[in-house]
A = this chain, B = another copy of it.
């Protein structure tokens, strides 16, 4: 039985706890959270104990940690967990500062532990099926990628202040998708953005609407468009043009009901937000993590991927702020 310590008993922590509990041969032993009450509720639900980070990391029975606490704790927990020899699953981002993220990657490498970063989109059934078909050559060589990534609504301004900005907070997922789908990396980045949904976003020095262009080392082209607000819900699509065709990943809908009235023929809105859309992805990434640990195979989303996505987010932030093309 592999025993697990979970850091974070909030929204994403609860999802990870449920998925950890579902893995055969895996047990949740500790829940760690500054909010003792939340930790207690979650621990009780899964037959685990509340503990401090020190206790959890010092327990030699703990083989793996799952880090779902706030972003500013990630780097410290990764470093300490690596030092304690634990296998690590950590929510994105590694850190908002690329230097600290690189330090974490170095610490992981020194310790020789597994460290997986939670880019759950790579495990989404639609996205991963698309990638598998791309890899079989079904549409030939990929040439162009267009990513649409829109949230149903902006988070509170308080969150935005600590978010690192839209490129690090929101587009970091899209940068990872870009690298994964094209199996290539960025040679240059151009980004621009606007405040179109709420002036409050601008008041904290951020934007809510962005467009990004990436050229890859092999000359392929990618465009990303994002918005903090899509009135119709969570919009998560991308398409790849290849030399012999196109693959498109569409939104998921709650049901397959169509209604035709005197006004229109209509379908459900997309699944509302990431908890709904990526429910399966969260389960599949956790299964992948423990499968990789069990079999000794590499994880699909390494800490290097986490660092690289952050570097692209930094480059995009620079491009937007300085109004210039950033070469990488």
Residues in B with CB closer than 8 Å to A244 are: 231, 261-262
Measured CB to CB, the closest approach of chain B to A57, in angstroms, equals 31
A221 touches B241 (CB 8 A): no
Q: Report how far A84 CA is from B149 CA in the complex, Å.
A: 54
A255 touches B125 (CB 8 A): yes
Q: Report how far A260 CA is from B231 CA in the complex, Å.
A: 8
Q: Report how far A219 CA is from B196 CA in the complex, Å.
A: 8
B146 touches A148 (CB 8 A): yes
Task: Answer whether residue A195 sits at the interface, using C-beta atoms and an 8 A cutoff.
Answer: yes
Within 8 A of B (CB), among A111-131: 125-126, 129-130
Q: Report how far A245 CA is from B194 CA in the complex, Å.
A: 18
A202-216 interface code vs B (CB 8 A; 1 in, 0 out): 000000011101010
Count, chain A residues at interface, CB 8 A = 71
Measured CB to CB, the closest approach of chain B to A171, in angstroms, equals 14
Task: Answer whether residue A299 sits at the interface, using C-beta atoms and an 8 A cutoff.
Answer: no
Q: Report how far A138 CA is from B258 CA in the complex, Å.
A: 12
A192 touches B211 (CB 8 A): no
A213 touches B213 (CB 8 A): yes
Q: Report how far A267 CA is from B251 CA in the complex, Å.
A: 13
A246 touches B232 (CB 8 A): yes
Q: Report how far A190 CA is from B213 CA in the complex, Å.
A: 9
B215 touches A213 (CB 8 A): no
Instruction: Assess A139 versus B261: contact at CB under 8 Å? Given A221-B209, A246-B232, A256-B252.
Output: yes
Instruction: Assess A143 versus B246: contact at CB under 8 Å? Given A190-B190, A254-B125.
Output: no
